[in-house]
Amino acid sequence: DGPDTYGRLNADVYDEWHADLDPTDAVHRLADLIDQGPAGPVLELAVGTGRVTIPLAARGVDLRGIDASEEMVQRLRAKPGGATIPVTIGDMVDVDPGTDDDFAMIFVVFTTFFFLMSQEDQVRCFANVARRLLPGGRFVLECLVPDLARYQRQQSVDAHRVDLDHVRLVAVRHDPVEQRFAGQHILITNDGIRLAPVAMRYAWPSELDLMARLAGLERRHRWGGWRHEPYLGTGTHVTVYEKPARPAS
C-alpha cells in the first residue's frame, strides 16, 4: 500500500496505544540542538498526531511538518496548538514542505524513518534532507536497533497489554533478506478483533552512516537515548548528522 496506509488504519488508536511514550526528553534535546545550530526554520518528517511537534512548537520554534496521512494530521490539528503548525501532506522521502525554505534542522523520531520501505527510498531521503539543510544544519533520527534474537523462525508474538476486558498483541514476521518487518497490532475484546498493521524496512546504524556520507553529511553524535546515554549497540539510538558549513571565501 501507499505511504498513507499506516495513518489511515492507525490514526484513531495511535495516541491511546502509544500513551506510554513521554516526548519530554525528545523535546528538550531537540530544543538544545536547535539552539546550538544555525538560525532558521525546523522541519519534522512524519509529524503524525503531533506528539513531539506540538510541545516543540510551543517553545517558539518555527516548525513545519510533513506527513503522508491526512487522518493523522487531522488529529494533530484538533489538539491545542496543533492548528497553527504548517503541515504538508506528502511522502517524507521527498522532503518537500511546499516552500523554498532551507532548514536549520530536520528530524524524524520514533523509528518512523524505517517506514520508507526500500534502501533506495532511504538513501533518497538522506539526499533530499541534505539538499534542504542550511550549512551547519542537522539531521536528527531516533531509531530502534533491531533485536533479531527475539525472532524464532523469523516471527514473534508479544503480549503488550493483558487486562480484564481486552488483550493487545503484536505479531511480526521478519524478512532478513529485505531487512523488513511486517506486523499487526491486534486488539481482542468482547466486541471483536481490531487490526492495526505496520511495516518497516530497518537499517543498521552503520548503514545509516553510509547513507549520510553519500549525501554529504557528517555524523556528530550518536547516543543511546535522548538523555545522552552511551550508545551500546542495542535498544534505541539518537543520531545527529550535520551538513558541513561552506568554506570561508
User: Is 0.95 topped by the overall pTM?
Assistant: no
For every one of its 249 residues, what pLDDT tens digit does the chain have, with 9 covering 90 and above? 667 777 877 888 888 777 778 899 999 999 999 999 999 999 999 999 999 999 999 999 999 999 999 999 999 999 999 999 999 999 999 999 999 999 999 999 999 999 999 999 999 999 999 999 999 999 999 999 999 998 999 999 999 889 999 899 999 999 999 999 999 989 999 999 988 888 999 999 999 999 999 999 999 999 999 999 999 999 999 999 999 987 544
Q: Are 205 and 95 a contacting pair, CB within 8 Å?
A: no
Q: Please give the pLDDT value at position 249.
A: 45
Q: What angle do CA 57, 129, 241 make, to 5 degrees?
A: 85
Cα distances from 90 to residues 13, 53, 69, in angstroms, run: 22, 17, 8
Location of C-alpha cell 509529524: 47
Q: Please give the pLDDT value at position 161.
A: 87
Q: Is 152 exposed, middle or buried (0-12, 13-18, 19+ CB in 10 A)?
A: exposed
Alpha-carbon distance 51 to 22, whole Å?
9
- Residue 193 cell numbers, joined: 478483533
